[in-house]
Structure 1
Amino acid sequence: MDVLFVSADSSIQAYQALAETYAAIEPPTWSLLLAESCRGKGFEAAILDCTAERLSITDAVERIREANPRLVVFVVYGQNPNSGTTNMIGNSKLADTLREQYPEYRTCFVGSHVSALPLQVLADHDGIDLVLYNEGVYALHNLLASSLADEDILKTHGVGHKLHGRPTLNPPEQVVPQARMDIDLPGYAWDLLPYDKRPLDLYRSHFWHAGFDHGNRTPFAALYTSLGCRFKCDFCMINIVNRTSDAEDTVSAHSPMMRYWSPELMLREFEKLNQLGVETIRLSDEMFFLDKRHYEPLLNGIIDRGYQNRMWSYSRVDTVRPQHLDLFRRAGVEWFCLGIEAANQVIRKEVSKGTFKEINIREVCHTVRESGINIISNFIFGFPDDDLNSLCQTRDLAMELNTEMTNVYACQALPGSPLYYTAQKNGWTIPKQYEGFAFLAYDCLPLPTKHLSAAEVLQFRDDAWHKIFSNPDYLKLVESKFGPKQRNNVEDLFQIRLKRKLLGDAPPPMKTTPAERMPTNTAPKPMTA
């Protein structure tokens, strides 16, 4: 085998007790893309998804040994913008353990955290030989076409290594250009994923995506129809995987771009999922509701084919086009995740570099809901200019909007974002461990603001979350739209109180292996092509 794409498990550290039942388990989207790309070039590839298969570190090491690949590629992305960093928890531990037990395997890391801090990743981990410091498609092709000898690695662009005793970056490599998206990233290797009784049944959607009904969460798939974002928000690191520079101060705002697959290719992917019996689908694009030249033919094609999908997609609150909401709803988009971020317009403009338009948030939300589409509203507490008054404004807006789902996060200086380097420059405390960047982790360490400590921000966030979800008006909404059982499920959810080291809590009890937390009746098996 030429290459094994590995995704290790970091869920219990990132989500605490929420990992058992409530956190989604998403297919490893970039593993699927890279595997299909490599197969298209004639290389033999496989995927090892430790979260889906409930594998311990010990079991995962043995599975890698059994596969015996020429190159072990750890693909470190995830569900949220911070996941490329937080998923380093399990992946770095697995790589270090593999090095201790089977040092002969060459290991390579790719992902957003690796793109942000490639030299630091190499310096911090003996078990990591190579990094790809953007999306890595062409660097990976070139590595696999070689013998992987030291002299081959030294001349492969887009690769970081430590062959001369210190971490070093080779000259940069390009990302896949728009004109070659369908050629060099020709779809998803769904057939390489494990399953129990039917394809993709080891994966589960977000709790709310299934209308708060656990029985409708699987099978589940997530896919991109485009890559990247045109905007340069201070708090976001999404575009860091587009980097084409080896400068150490490179941030996501240096490479704002979007690239699209053709509607024809994407409709073939939807047909594959339809044939596999998958209807619950996440559109993972950062800006799906942005360019109608892309989404109109794709959504119309889905409608014409009669797929009965249950989908959700992202949108900025200022890019919603009311005239197209009916098209989205008829295509099966049942949820929009709207990035509202903050109630205070001045703060919102500051962190988005002035790109947020003046809009009536209440009117946009009303229009979306009138179209029959549910809303997940996203808010962030603790931007640099936030004070207690502005935090209260954001919390109160979330409660007033009373959307079908609300996400609230404490602001993090995520590696790769402009805010990360602002924090470094100003001497703000930044987490030293991967766990510190996980929004819901015990070790979560958000940024302080100019007016509030990190502990005050985190306490406010956790209190606001419970206030929003225990709000009688919200519970009444859930019951009226989804049913009494679903209301009970939400009430069970808000009984869970996260433990926080920063707030003086004792560590939560940890079950040691994924299998203990999420048992499965049958040993997973790879899907047949």
Structure 2
Amino acid sequence: MRAQIDLVLVNPGERTKIYQSLGSTLTAIEPPLWCRLIGGYARDRGNSIVIIDAEAEHLTADQVAERIAELSPRLVAMVVFGHQPSASTQQMVGAGMTCRAIKARKPDQPIIIVGGHVAALPERTLREEAVDFACNSEGPVTVAQLLDALREEEPSLDSVEGLVYRQADTDAIRSNLAPALIKDLDGDLHGDVWDLLPMGQYRAHNWQCFGDLGSRQPYASIYTSLGCPYKCSFCCINAPFG
């Protein structure tokens, strides 16, 4: 008998719904940073994880839902960050479609949604999307604590930092205080889960390779920091960091 998988992290796809015909060949496909960061943090704490990169594998919402139904994990985390500050909201199109498809196939599958858009509008996201939980902060601590809570016969959600959820007795939305920011980026947020990603599918922007468009692959990206030192009123990049 196969042991239950604790966590499936989903990088939503359906990029042709966002970029139309340009989504097939023109757009870049970057390894999903926050799937990696949350996945590494959760795996370090003894959880078994799977990453479904629907963007890289060009999976539809229904195809992702089919995989989720087969895996039947303890928790699905829909990770909606994108690759630049505003892209989280753009990615909500595919994320919403995928969450609805998962719930249509397996209504009792617990789903938490995480991301920049979500952290900026956590209560609204919980009301609008087919999910059980939302995250009002970074994600790694909240997801790991929620996994611990879901192992209990009667999960205690009020102690899960950064969790936004509906109270069972009143259906009112409750938003727990966010956890402290993770400071040990090299230790806690190493993101070393490359073995779980389809590395052959990633490609650079075409404008990065105008000298040789055939050199877009192999490709990976490097991040040297998180967040931004500025507080622009029109930008949500710092929403997950308080």
The partner residue of 2:187 within 183, 190, 205 is: 183
Matches for 1:21-60 after TM superposition, within 5 Å: 21-60=25-64
Structure 2 counterpart of 1:88, one-letter code: M
Tell me the secondary structure at the aligned position of residue 115 of structure 1. Answer: helix
From the superposition, tell whether residues 226 and 102 of structure 1 become closer, same or farther in structure 2 (CA, over 3 Å): same
1:525 alignment counterpart: none
2:206 alignment counterpart: 207
2:139 alignment counterpart: 136
Could you tell me which runs of 5 or more consecutive residues in structure 2 were left unpaired when the two chains were aligned: none
Matches for 1:426-505 after TM superposition, within 5 Å: none
Structure 1 counterpart of 2:149, one-letter code: S
Matches for 1:181-260 after TM superposition, within 5 Å: 181-194=185-198, 200-211=199-210, 213-243=212-242
Q: Within 2, Cα distance between the matches of 1:175 and 1:118?
A: 18
Q: 1:82: Cα distance to partner?
A: 1.3
Answer whether contact 1:143 1:152 (CA < 8 A) is retained. Answer: no
Q: 1:71: Cα distance to partner?
A: 0.3
Tell me the secondary structure at the aligned position of residue 220 of structure 2. Answer: strand
Q: Does residue 162 of the first structure (1) align with residue 161 of the second (2)? A: no
Tell which structure's C-alpha radius of gyration is larger. 1
C-alpha offsets along residues 366-404 of structure 1, whole Å, 9 cap, x if unaligned?
Answer: xxxxxxxxxxxxxxxxxxxxxxxxxxxxxxxxxxxxxxx
Answer whether contact 2:206 2:216 (CA < 8 A) is retained. Answer: yes
The partner residue of 2:123 within 112, 115, 119 is: 119
Q: 1:124: Cα distance to partner?
A: 0.8
The partner residue of 2:74 within 70, 78, 85 is: 70
Could you tell me which runs of 5 or more consecutive residues in structure 1 were left unpaired when the two chains were aligned: 195-199, 244-529
Answer whether contact 1:130 1:159 (CA < 8 A) is retained. Answer: yes
Q: Within 1, Cα distance between the matches of 2:200 and 2:209?
A: 14
C-alpha offsets along residues 24-52 of structure 1, whole Å, 9 cap, x if unaligned?
Answer: 11111110111111111111111001121
Tell me the secondary structure at the aligned position of residue 226 of structure 2. Answer: strand
Q: 1:171: Cα distance to partner?
A: 2.3
Tell me the secondary structure at the aligned position of residue 227 of structure 1. Answer: coil
1:5 alignment counterpart: 9
C-alpha offsets along residues 192-228 of structure 1, whole Å, 9 cap, x if unaligned?
Answer: 002xxxxx22111111112353311111112322111
Tell me the secondary structure at the aligned position of residue 73 of structure 1. Answer: strand
Answer whether contact 1:138 1:175 (CA < 8 A) is retained. Answer: no
Tell me the secondary structure at the aligned position of residue 231 of structure 1. Answer: coil
Percent of aligned pairs sharing the same letter: 34
Answer whether contact 2:33 2:191 (CA < 8 A) is retained. Answer: no
Q: Within 2, Cα distance between the matches of 1:146 and 1:168?
A: 16
After TM superposition, the structure 1 stretch with the greater mean CA deviation from structure 2, 36-45 or 205-214, is 205-214
Q: Does residue 146 of the first structure (1) align with residue 146 of the second (2)? A: no
TM-score (norm 1): 0.43
Structure 1 counterpart of 2:191, one-letter code: G
1:91 alignment counterpart: 95
Structure 2 counterpart of 1:9, one-letter code: G
Answer whether contact 1:29 1:223 (CA < 8 A) is retained. Answer: no
Structure 2 counterpart of 1:117, one-letter code: L
Q: Within 1, Cα distance between the matches of 2:230 and 2:60?
A: 39
From the superposition, tell whether residues 215 and 140 of structure 1 become closer, same or farther in structure 2 (CA, over 3 Å): same
Q: What is the RMSD of the two structures over their aligned residues, measured on CA atoms?
A: 1.6
After TM superposition, the structure 1 stretch with the greater mean CA deviation from structure 2, 79-88 or 159-168, is 159-168
1:347 alignment counterpart: none
1:173 alignment counterpart: 179
From the superposition, tell whether residues 169 and 35 of structure 1 become closer, same or farther in structure 2 (CA, over 3 Å): same
Q: Within 2, Cα distance between the matches of 1:104 and 1:63?
A: 15
After TM superposition, the structure 1 stretch with the greater mean CA deviation from structure 2, 103-112 or 9-18, is 9-18
Tell me the secondary structure at the aligned position of residue 149 of structure 2. Answer: coil
From the superposition, tell whether residues 40 and 217 of structure 1 become closer, same or farther in structure 2 (CA, over 3 Å): same
Tell me the secondary structure at the aligned position of residue 58 of structure 1. Answer: helix
Matches for 1:271-290 after TM superposition, within 5 Å: none
Tell me the secondary structure at the aligned position of residue 180 of structure 2. Answer: coil
TM-score (norm 2): 0.91
Q: 1:106: Cα distance to partner?
A: 0.3
Q: Within 2, Cα distance between the matches of 1:106 and 1:202?
A: 29
C-alpha offsets along residues 466-518 of structure 1, whole Å, 9 cap, x if unaligned?
Answer: xxxxxxxxxxxxxxxxxxxxxxxxxxxxxxxxxxxxxxxxxxxxxxxxxxxxx
Aligned length: 235
